[in-house]
Amino acid sequence: MGLPAIRKGVTLIAGHVARLPLFCYRTSGDGSRKKDLRHPAYRLLMRSPSSIYTPFIFKRQAIAYTILYGNSYAYIVRDEEGTPQELLLLDPEGTWVEAESNVDLRPTTWNFVGHFPHPRWHFGFSSPFHNHDFLDGYMRGFRHKIILPRGPLQSVTSVKYYDFDNTQQDWTNSDTVVNYYVMRGYKTLGWIQPALYWPSTFDTFRPDAVTITFTSGYSPAPAIAQQAVLLAVGTFFENRESETEANLKTLGLGFDRLLDMLTIEGVTP
């Protein structure tokens, strides 16, 4: 944006596109569509994305980011019931997209946060990733394992929950008390299983009723991953010119097969 010509062009394009309306549509059973004015996205995109943006400014800045950086990102602020309340633009230079995968190539700490409607426990990430299929625990009186959706599992740092009085309790194992067992698995996702039963949690819906903090990932990166990186770097180095006749949409079967060897399979609850 340091060049006046680029700034002018981006401003014109982003401004004109941002003036276009963005509607949400609901598709009925017969295939017909109609505007859904009650959808939370309609309010965010057409009326008030947040307290610091008007809809026009939000869309104009998002489009400008897309032109300059190839994409734009916004953090979704949700209320206690999970309903979107605000959209906050993120710096595209400091934001990256990681393909949804259950493998971490470096040690990473996650907060596995969830709500436990009776009688089942359902979990989701405290991040844009959200997949309830990973967890299938039960309320007190059941002993089903809780599958942690990232691997390979290294350790479980803490387990905290809100009891019936809506008071947070620390259920983490100690030197003298073992509340659960940690199973790391081999080529599968890890999980934790109660020594006796899972505790009961607060009945009223709260998204953060239970938080499991755990660390997953390889340390150091496995040789297979390092070989895949070297293969990718070599391919791009040999085709580093601005123009090439090579098809670089894929890196070949060798690269894919190396990554397939790092796949971690799911576990039956």
Q: What is the pLDDT of residues 32-89, one digit of tens each?
A: 889 888 888 888 888 889 888 899 999 999 999 999 888 899 988 888 777 888 999 9
The angle that helices 55-69 and 4-18 make with each other, rounded to 10 degrees, is 130
Helix, strand or coil, per DSSP, at residue 114: strand
Tens of pLDDT along 105-144?
888 898 888 764 444 443 433 333 333 333 333 334 445 7
The angle that helices 223-238 and 253-260 make with each other, rounded to 10 degrees, is 160
Confidence of residue 255 (pLDDT cuts 50, 70, 90): confident
Counting other chains too, the contacts that 204-208 makes at CB distance below 8 Å and 24 or more residues apart are 204/166, 205/80, 205/81, 205/115, 205/117, 206/80, 206/115, 206/162, 206/166, 207/78, 207/80, 207/81, 207/82, 207/113, 207/114, 207/115, 208/113, 208/115, 208/126, 208/162
pLDDT for position 2: 67
Tens of pLDDT along 150-182?
888 888 999 998 888 888 999 898 877 888 888
Measured CA to CA, the distance from residue 127 to residue 218 in angstroms comes to: 21
**pLDDT exceeds cutoff 80 at 195:** yes
